[in-house]
Structure 1
Amino acid sequence: VHWVRAFIRFHGVRHPATLGSSEVEAFLSWLANERKVSVSTHRQALAALLFFYGKVLCTDLPWLQEIGRPRPSRRLPVVLTPDEVVRILGFLEGEHRLFAQLLYGTGMRISEGLQLRVKDLDFDHGTIIVREGKGSKDRALMLPESLAPSLREQLSRARAWWLKDQAEGRSGVALPDALERKYPRAGHSWPWFWVFAQHTHSTDPRSGVVRRHHMYDQTFQRAFKRAVEQAGITKPATPHTLRHSFATALLRSGYDIRTVQDLLGHSDVSTTMIYTHVLKVGGA
């Protein structure tokens, strides 16, 4: 009702039966261009008019069905140059620095990196397995050879936390629900321990169990934001920007779009294609 009233008021309280496609298009254009409504709001307005004309006025309106719906605008991703990445890394320390290097060197999402388990790192084959990434699909990534020594050191630190928890009789780390029900002791085993473990224990909101979680997203986000500011980077860079920068660097190096799609875990290649636009407009 709200959108029908707005439509009628927009056209000087004329009866909608006297209004046609041009008037509807004018109203929808006004919403998009002047009111700057979101795509979802624009669709609500169009749906309301479709219902009103079809169900209330019982008017055949093929012209209304043909009116184009706006598509969500796709902004080009922020991309860092290799030099900018090096500058940011210079202001990160310890596991925060290693985690940023891992995101930039593999293109994984921050959530995927945080949830890495010891068993997901295969040094012999130089691979990292991302378990149930976006879309609930596993995928194999290249383990950057340059990071192998640092990752081994990280595992040594993680093992010290694991041994401490074992000695204190702590609860094991959280597991996917189905797995935890089937193998209730698996969370106590070393292969399932976090690569980037939190240094303190916290209460699992799902179960109320006090256990060691992986490094908090917010903790790394804050450290990265400080590093960007200290490096004098004016781009609105976030940890996800490292993923964008990884993809753009691969395409610039000659990798084909399908390979990059697989490494990023995109289900649709059109999502990956946006990085080709970054290259065309002279991105990093």
Structure 2
Amino acid sequence: MEDELKDFMHFLIVEKALAKNTIVSYERDLKAYVKYIKTVENVQSIDGIGRIQIVHFLGHLKEQGKSSRTIARNIASIRAFHQFLLREKVAEQDPSVQIETPQLERTLPKVLNLQEVERLLEAPKLTTHYGLRDKAMLELLYATGIRVSELIGLNLDDAHLTMGFVRCIGKGNKERIIPLGRTAATAIQEYLNKGRPQFIKNQREESLFVNHHGRRLTRQGFWKILKGLTKEAGIEKDLTPHTLRHSFATHLLENGADLRAVQEMLGHSDISTTQIYTHVTKTRLKDVYSQFHPRA
């Protein structure tokens, strides 16, 4: 089964061109699945897997305390794997066909209000090159709504400051051109003039945002920076690297932006993914009404 799994991973990387984090997720899920099927169910070939073995594996995940969302993701990974094997004529059947995905509660994304955004954006100390870098990153995230993976993937020639846009490569290797406001462009220019040169050790380094070694900043590195700045800003909400992306979309819609335009800027392939932010704005309107209307 390991050979079939390698072929599937190669398909995801080369033909589907999925994002690195998505590929890692598929691989983690399916390695655990194959290991369980072989060691616990004692099935040694793909054609030996039936619906009951998959049900047993999902029950095993539930016993481990995995959430409905994690189990649903595993089902999606397993289904994609077996469909690939059927399509490639490696298997004669798809045992995952009648497996039902558990019902998921739709959780609304956490967002910052405008005052919290201001406090976070003002947290970096602009007297240091670290502060100039952090300010530029936060301003860029809030100005464009790009993902953190897209942020750290930016190169110098992706930021077109005088023309007011950034170019990024998103999920599925798709390119997006996103408008950039004056405030973010100014912060990035300040970082390029006074901050980045102090980090750089190799003049051929192309990465826009770099760490203290002068190399491309990692997702983990950004997460550590964000946690520190959140504490500095006195924000008690549990922020994630996606929080500024969620806030960007919500604040645009609250101020009358077109849903299709927000979808394009976020890089969502399906508008239903973007529509969740309309639920956020409705919830926030209810909160404002309850707080301020005299007869609420």
Q: TM-score, normalised by structure 1?
A: 0.60
Change beyond 3 A, Cα 1:280–1:143: same
Larger Rg: 1
Seq. identity, %? 40
Which structure would you say has the larger RCO, counting Cα contacts within 8 Å and 6 or more residues apart? 1
Residues 86-101 of structure 1: pairs in structure 2 closer than 5 A: 86-93=118-125, 94=131, 95-101=133-139
Residues 170-181 of structure 1: pairs in structure 2 closer than 5 A: 172-173=204-205
Q: Deviations over 1:123-168 (max 9, x none)?
A: 23211111x21121000111111222221222234773698524xx
Is 1:194 the counterpart of 2:194 in the alignment? no
Unaligned runs of 5+ in 2: 1-61, 76-96, 126-130, 288-296
2:239 is aligned to: 237
Unaligned runs of 5+ in 1: 1-31, 45-64, 167-171, 174-192, 201-211
Q: In the comparison of the two structures, how many residue pairs are matched?
A: 199
Asked if the contact 1:92–1:224 (Cα under 8 Å) also holds between the matched residues in 2, the reply is no
Cα offset for 1:238? 2.0
CA RMSD of aligned residues (A): 3.3
Q: Distance in 2 between matches of 1:37 and 1:160?
A: 45
Indicate which of 42, 50, 68 corresponds to 1:38: 68
Asked if the contact 2:150–2:170 (Cα under 8 Å) also holds between the matched residues in 1, the reply is yes
Indicate which of 202, 212, 217 corresponds to 1:165: 202
Asked if the contact 1:154–1:196 (Cα under 8 Å) also holds between the matched residues in 2, the reply is no
SS in structure 2 opposite 1:76? Answer: coil
Is 1:156 the counterpart of 2:158 in the alignment? no
Q: TM-score, normalised by structure 2?
A: 0.58
Indicate which of 132, 153, 170 corresponds to 1:115: 153
Structure with a larger share of its residues in helix:
2
Residues 1-284 of structure 1: pairs in structure 2 closer than 5 A: 38=68, 41=71, 69-93=101-125, 94=131, 95-130=133-168, 132-157=169-194, 160=197, 164-166=201-203, 172-173=204-205, 193-200=206-213, 212-282=214-284
Cα offset for 1:110? 0.9
Q: Deviations over 1:230-267 (max 9, x none)?
A: 43323211231000000001101111111000000001
SS in structure 2 opposite 1:140? Answer: strand
Change beyond 3 A, Cα 1:89–1:40: closer
Q: Distance in 1 between matches of 2:202 and 2:98?
A: 64
Q: Deviations over 1:87-121 (max 9, x none)?
A: 12232231112211110111011111112111111
Counterpart residue identity of residue 227, structure 2 = K
